[in-house]
Structure 1
Amino acid sequence: MTFSEIQNAIFQNKIGVLIPTYNNEKTLNRVIDGVLEYTDRIIIVNDGSTDSTADILNEYPHITVINLAENKGKGNGLKIGFRKAIELGYDYAITIDSDGQHYPDDIPVFVKALLDEGQEVLLIGNRNMSQEGIPKKSSFGNRFSNFWFWFETGIKLEDTQSGYRLYPLHKIPKKYFTPKFEFEIEIIVRTAWRHVPVKNVPVKVLYDPAERVSHFRPFRDFTRISILNTILVTITLLYIIPRNFVNNFRKKSLKKFIREDVLESDGSNRTKAFSVALGVFIGFSPFWGFHTLLVISLSVLFKLNKVLAFVASNVSLPPFIPFIIAAALYLGAPFIQGESNILNQELNFELVKNNLLQYIIGSAILASSMSVISGIATFIFLSKVNPENH
């Protein structure tokens, strides 16, 4: 695309550029001037800067400037900027950091990628983190973030921490939990949960220690990010994965579900059989309330089929629970001294409480035996109907 075509595409697709800034007087002019070569649809959020930022921004009366009285964090600045962008009628916002690490001449990369997608998408700049001069802590933090983003969304990206992004303003959440650096993780995860594609596009990056001012506080901000990821993982395991599974199941006939999600899903027949065996083992185990969390976590850890394991774990649906408890108590009876006959007693949680060791031993026997039986049966079945995946 030519220079004029890029400018026209920015105008036609209602794209604005959002620049959050805090005490970046050394690089702010260069960033703004670079963006102005493509568009004057710029929103700058001055997040309580105490250097000469306010004086620099006075040199640009034709762009939108929001001055905040005190510094409240990058996430807060972005949220305010998004609201202003929507108010001004923009459909997309390209965010670029003001510390000079991003090159404004990569704006066309985002515009072209958006046009090629032909749909609303969230794009994240993919920096070359292996190049000389990249701090090791940044490379590690990016790998750490990439892993948890994949775990929480199922999407594999090479860079999830770059602040150089294109956001579809009408698809991102309206309310958020976090105000600082961790906001940029929260927004991409929760946008992906809304089934909006999240993809990387290649961008250049410059780390100049003489100019760059980083406001990232390693211990405090890493702790906040870790707490956020703990919350997001919990939501993923307890709500997002079950929700997606139910939604996918509803969209398909039983025959289609078995063909696409069971027979043609990733993994060999042996892997699928182990997945079912794991799900059944967890489903019959006494970890009530934690079955989904356990089965998904272990499926990820052992690289098994999460869908099959989750389905199999539902052997413990509420109507079956009394039978599972009774079977566990019965199987555990021979290992307990004294009176342990439960056939003549009322089956309730008081009975389980009074015979807890008997129940735990019986649950272990029941879960193990049913796991082995279901795994072998699944493998034999799949070998018959899908022999090419031995």
Structure 2
Amino acid sequence: MVILIPAFEPDRQLPALIRSIRSTRPEVPVVVVDDGSGPAFRDVFDGVRTLGCHVVSYARNQGKGFALRAGFGFIADNLPGRDVVCADSDGQHAVADILRVADRVRENRDQQWGTSTMVLGSRSFTGNVPARSRLGNSATRLLFALATGERIPDTQTGLRGYPAAMLPWLRSVRGDRYEYELNLLLEAKNNGYSIESVTIATVYLDHNSGSHFRPLADSARIYAPLLKFLASSFTAFLLDTVVFVLLTAAIDSLLLAVVGARAVSSAVNFLVNRHLVFERGRDTSPRKAGVRYFGLAAVLLAANFGLIRAFEAIAVPALPAKILAEITLLVVSFAVQQRFLFTGGAAMELSAGSRSRTHISA
């Protein structure tokens, strides 16, 4: 096992965490990534280096996602074959919980399927929890469930365990800042990985004053994959509804109205999703993505028509029935597109330019 800790302008909690790890499990390698903290924090990193940590550093702040990938790269190159547990530098993760996650990764690895399971340390959010942290996690958890149909207790936890076999994929996922960790959850099933959660303590020191999370900018980055899809789907829904209303006024056939409206909205939605919504949409060939997408559209069209008929059978008018059917099928559409349609191809490594700016010491 290796413990990986990304750190930007850390306070006294970082050396305290390292000392606690050293006193509990002195044999475990610890890799600390200095995410461009600058000369003012050199003493802090020199201090953790004297405690036996490997320190990866670069000059300019790049973000948590970049720091994690830099750490994964160092571990893959210098400590190969080891599982990795990521922890935050602000003292919010107790050593007992870090080891609990590590033990669960090891237990999973001992089983045949365990090399493809990431383990999340999930906080219960009980007690004295800052309002922004409680509300932020609740909002992300709800959006994640709406968009994917999966329920994860703590989507924003920084305490995560990964088996060694997962490192190449971890280095390929996009996102340089806080959105990276949500992207891992969104892309996991696409790539054959499962997610497991273990309960950990909820710890906030000094009302989370050590956090560098920017509520507006970083929340926008985190929610972007989900909100872009919801916005794309809502635009397609509006277009579909307008065409549906026009066709029902022009022709006396519910089936033709539904099919015609869906043909127009699906074409627009496919182009938007492929080019703007899904990060790897353009990595998939247009023909392959198109066949899959319009196959899905045909299935959803049949389901849409059946739901409208069912709602009308219980005396729901055509337009409200249409709206209810679209909302019902929204989650299914995102989950299938995210996992099967716009999955992209080969994994990417950190660029040579990124590596050339990285300094490693032990």
CA contact (8 A) 2:97 2:121 kept: no
SS in structure 2 of the partner of residue 40 of structure 1: coil
Give the 5 Å matches for 1:188-337: 188-209=185-206, 212-231=209-228, 284-288=259-263, 290-291=265-266, 312-313=299-300, 315=302
Aligned to 2:16: 30
2:93–2:159 contact (8 Å) kept in structure 1: yes
1:29–1:56 contact (8 Å) kept in structure 2: yes
Q: Does 1:124 align with 2:97?
A: no
| Structure 1 residue runs without a partner (length 5+) | 1-14, 238-279, 295-308, 317-366, 377-390
- The amino acid of 2:120's aligned partner reads I
> Residues of 2 paired with 1:315 and 1:210: CA distance?
51
Change (3 A) 1:284 1:169: farther
TM-score (ref. length: structure 2): 0.61
2:176 to 157, 175, 179: 179
Amino acid at match of 1:192: K
Residue 190 of structure 1 aligns with an amino acid whose one-letter code is: E
Contact 2:62 2:177 in 1 (8 A): yes
Partner of residue 95 from structure 2, selected from 96, 101, 104: 104
Q: Residues 281 and 374 of structure 1: is their aligned pair in 2 closer, same or farther, counting only changes over 3 Å?
A: farther
Which residue of 68, 85, 106 maps to 1:94? 85
Residue of 18, 21, 27 corresponding to 2:7: 21
Q: Distance in 2 between matches of 1:18 and 1:49?
A: 17
The Cα offsets for residues 265-322 of structure 1, whole Å up to 9 and x where unpaired, read as: xxxxxxxxxxxxxxx899625132645979xxxxxxxxxxxxxx97743559xxxxxx
Identify the match of residue 163 of structure 1 among 154, 158, 164. 158
Alignment-derived partner of residue 81 in structure 1: 71
The answer to whether the 8 Å contact 1:40/1:63 transfers is no
Aligned residue pairs total 255
2:259/2:301 contact within 8 Å kept? no
Kindly indicate whether residue 141 of structure 2 is the aligned counterpart of residue 146 of structure 1: yes
Deviation of residue 122 (structure 1)? 0.8
Higher helix share: 2
Which TM-score applies when normalising by structure 1? 0.57
> Displacement, 1:65?
0.6
Whole-angstrom CA distance in 2 between matches of 1:185 and 1:77: 15
Alignment correspondent of 1:274: none
Q: Which runs of 5+ in 2 are unaligned?
A: 235-254, 271-295, 314-362
Query: Identity of aligned pairs, percent?
Result: 22
**Which has the greater radius of gyration?**
1
Give deviations 1:126-150, integer Å, cap 9, x for gaps.
1121222x11111111111112333
